[in-house]
Chains A and B, each alone.
Chain A
Amino acid sequence: MSGRTLLDKIWKSHVIHSPLQEAARIDALTEGEMADHEDLLGERQEMLYIDLHLIHEVTSPQAFEGLRQAGRRVRRPDLTLATVDHNVPTIDRDLPNPDPLSATQIEVLRRNAEEFEITLFDIFDSRQGIVHIIGPEQGFTQPGMTIVCGDSHTSTHGAFGSLAFGIGTSEVEHVMATQTLRQSKPKTMSVEVTGELGPGVTAKDVILAIINRIGVHGGIGHVIEYRGQVIEDLSMEGRMTICNMSIEAGARAGLVAPDEKTFLYMKGRPQVPKGEDWDRAIEYWRSLPTDSDAVFDRVIVIDGTSIVPFVTWGTNPAQSVSVDGHVPDPAQAPEEQREAIQRALTYMDLAPGTPVRDISIDRVFIGSCTNGRIEDLRAAAGVVKGKRIANGVTAMVVPGSGLVKIQAEDEGLAEVFTDAGFEWRDAGCSMCLGMNPDILAPGERSASTSNRNFEGRQGPGGRTHLVSPEMAAAAAIAGHFTDLREVMA
């Protein structure tokens, strides 16, 4: 028998029952109502226990309402953590919220948290922030756990070797009521990134390269485990950036095996076990990595030395090209791709063959659950230091959490940004998805460190180019995309 993958190990330790048991039980419960018992034998869904449920203001109100209507409680409020992030303002928080609908949603979460006795990191709590930033920051995110949230970028937490994935609102309600979820076990995919990254090449470029290679639906039905020298060499922040965008390749989740770097990052954080508990925990965590003889359903190998700084040119995250490259020409593309490329270029208002460096930008957004951590801000500040943003460019930095903000201020990064002309904001999802006032005007073009360049994602008619924090900072200085090595020279 071959060895087990990290996914196999986490999955098995969380399965509460198998499908066949379910079939037998239902048969008994409905007393023959089910005409054909055999129907259920092919069922693949298993019931998984959920160790941590993260909730936020946008995808939870209907779930709480469902509980109330059915007279149900939250089974484990102590395994549930709430924060406000998606539509909170990032400026003037002491003033009334300019958007009454957002204000209502935030207030409803407050009331629900109180009624169901759930801990809430509210807007003036320094621990408030993007839900996928604060989990790891507080040490809630630990190897071997199952973590869910009504948000697709829950995959971020996989960087710690925890199985973490996004769910819809009905499933949020299911987890609230039962602390379980019914899931089919995904297939496993190994994405190995070999060698070393060149100068100026970041975790963001690695994940954009991976998505470019396997496509926006290449990961459907799979959990990707990222492996290889490049992944091992990355910081925890970099691994989070990569796992975060697993969903952009269609994958159910991303995973990185926990290692000494993981433990070093976790040690001392508020929710991480201490003393003897730490020793017991670490022994378990060390048993989790994929066995050397385990077999993956699919294997992809990417040469890390060949990865370059990427810029997306289109309207999905696989439509990307090297900063030294050109926007594609549909006429030279395979016939089945032409229409989609042309549609994307029309939306993005780009002529075929345009050099990426000739694309001018109006706005720069540095932040999001993809790139809103302290390391991202340090990297961007390193590019910006002592320079000014280009005329006509508006740029903002939105830290991923209140604590990231405080740390960046303590380290002098905030001053570097404001001296260069950036706006320095409060923590939240902000311009990543355009639910609060931080949006692009129609036709505006952004260099953004976020995760999605879908049509209208950052505001109706807005045009988004996804890049690393360093590349976004360089674009802010130059006014157009540029190889950051030149800006830094």
Chain B
Amino acid sequence: MKAVSTVRGRAVPLDRSNVDTDQIIPAKHLKRIERTGYGEFAFEAWRRDPDFVLNQPQYADAAIMLTRENFGSGSSREHAVWALDGLGIRAVVGVGFADIFRSNCFQGGMLTVELPSEDIDHLMNLTAERPETVIEVNLEDQKVSVVGGSWHRSFEIDPFRKYRLMRGLDDISMTLEYGPDIDSHESARPDWMPTASLV
């Protein structure tokens, strides 16, 4: 995983709650066996509407997506993160995120930032009125700010997640360091627990 520190760019205001992962990437596009190539299908149904915000040229190169409550609800498909990444989005700023989606974002180095509703209102209005506004999400300082302005807000992130994101550490190699601990847990498991071998 690449290290992440700061995301800076235009922000596209997707002013909806409960955006589910079937909208972000429809199931029929989950048949690829790679992690790439999903961007062109992101929000496929909504993009058929020429007025949809992602079709507006002023947001074409947005690096940040603004949203409301419960973004990424529904399916566990990590393809949703890969699809956003394919659109060029590197951070999602909203009121709230579905648990699995947030975890998937972390795995893919996509920042998720939770802010109170009134702060999202402010950013939605600002980016709707002045699409050229540049927003910065600074992971190290845990701060969202309007570049060239005075508005900024702090956000929370799990310290260990932050640590790993900033260094681009590979989760699996870190866990494998715990081999002996895993071994000792395994040796204490009851032998009647089910196994799937030679079924």
Which residues of B, 84-124, contact A by the 8 Å Cβ criterion?
A: 96, 98-100, 103-104, 107-108
B54 to chain A, nearest CB (A): 15
Q: Give the size range of A's interface with the partner.
A: 35 or more
Closest to A154 in B: B76
Q: How far is the CA of A62 from the CA of B26 in the complex (A)?
A: 18
The binding surface of chain A is classed by DSSP as mixed
Q: How far is the CA of A486 from the CA of B20 in the complex (A)?
A: 36
B17 neighbours in A (Cβ, 8 Å): 340
Instruction: Mark the stretch among A172-180, A369-377, A388-396 that contacts chain B.
Output: A172-180
Contact B76 A59 (CB under 8 A): yes
Q: How far is the CA of A77 from the CA of B199 in the complex (A)?
A: 12
A108 neighbours in B (Cβ, 8 Å): 33
Which residues of A, 239-285, contact B by the 8 Å Cβ criterion?
A: 247-248, 250, 252, 270-273, 277-278, 280-281, 284
B176 neighbours in A (Cβ, 8 Å): 177-178
Contact B32 A101 (CB under 8 A): yes
Task: Tell me whether B34 is interfacial, beta carbon within 8 Å.
Answer: yes
Task: Tell me whether B6 is interfacial, beta carbon within 8 Å.
Answer: no
A34-B163, A270-B199 in contact; A217/B96 too (CB < 8 A)?
yes
Instruction: Mark the stretch among A14-22, A202-210, A402-410, A417-425 that contacts chain B.
Output: A14-22
Contact B192 A78 (CB under 8 A): no
Count, chain B residues at interface, CB 8 A: 64
Most B CB contacts (10 A, CB to CB) among A105, A216, A273 go to A216
Contact B99 A49 (CB under 8 A): no
Contact A41 B159 (CB under 8 A): yes
Contact A45 B160 (CB under 8 A): yes
Task: Tell me whether A91 is interfacial, beta carbon within 8 Å.
Answer: no
A42-B159, A250-B70 in contact; A170/B18 too (CB < 8 A)?
no
A16-B185, A168-B104 in contact; A119/B199 too (CB < 8 A)?
yes
Closest to B196 in A: A81
A271 neighbours in B (Cβ, 8 Å): 194-196, 199
Contact A178 B28 (CB under 8 A): no
Contact A221 B99 (CB under 8 A): yes
Candidates A43, A77, A248; contact of B159 at CB < 8 Å: A43
Identify the A interface with B (CB < 8 A).
14, 16-17, 19, 22-23, 25-26, 29, 33-34, 39-45, 47, 49, 51-52, 58-59, 61-62, 65, 70, 72, 75, 77-81, 86-87, 99, 101-102, 104-105, 108, 118-119, 138-140, 142, 145, 150-152, 165-171, 173-174, 177-180, 182, 184, 186, 216-217, 220-221, 247-248, 250, 252, 270-273, 277-278, 280-281, 284, 316, 340, 343, 433-435, 452, 454-457, 460-461
Could you list 23 examples of A-B contacts with CB < 8 Å? A43-B158, A44-B158, A52-B196, A59-B30, A62-B33, A75-B182, A78-B196, A104-B33, A150-B76, A152-B100, A178-B172, A179-B182, A180-B175, A184-B158, A220-B96, A248-B74, A252-B99, A273-B192, A316-B20, A340-B18, A435-B28, A452-B20, A460-B26
In the complex, besides A16-B182, A152-B76, A186-B99, 7 extra interface pairs with C-beta distance below 8 angstroms are A42-B158, A140-B196, A168-B100, A174-B171, A281-B190, A316-B73, A460-B45
Question: What are the 9 tightest A-B residue pairs by CB atom distance, in nearest-first order?
Answer: A170-B107, A168-B78, A78-B197, A168-B104, A43-B160, A101-B31, A217-B70, A61-B33, A277-B192
